[in-house]
Structure 1
Amino acid sequence: MERYEVLAKRIVLQDGKIIAEAKSVAKASGDAEIKISQSVSVNISYVNKSNS
């Protein structure tokens, strides 16, 4: 048996620009003994250019 699942979430500004994304990938495999592996990644691309 093998199962694979991906979960992705994004933070999007009103103008449609993606400023952050998190992704989790999990895989479960095996019959008598189940092994699970997971990887998580986070990308942040927002730069605050405010006039202070």
Structure 2
Amino acid sequence: MSQPFKTKQYLRYTEEALKDALSAVGNRMELREAAPVFKLPRGTVLRYVEDTTQ
């Protein structure tokens, strides 16, 4: 028997939390520390950090 299909639930966050996390990373906070503190996915923070540095 096959397993039932599960849909992925995305983590909800605010733009304010994202901006706070980006400023914290800019102020020398580690990305791995900033993501859980501001309750954001690490990949999302990484993507926005890479976009702002280019």
Higher strand proportion (structure 1 or 2)? 1
Bin of the TM-score, shorter chain as denominator length: under 0.3
* Greater per-residue helix proportion: 2
TM-score normalised over the length of structure 2 = 0.23
Larger radius of gyration between Structure 1 and Structure 2: 1
TM-score under structure 1 normalisation? Answer: 0.24
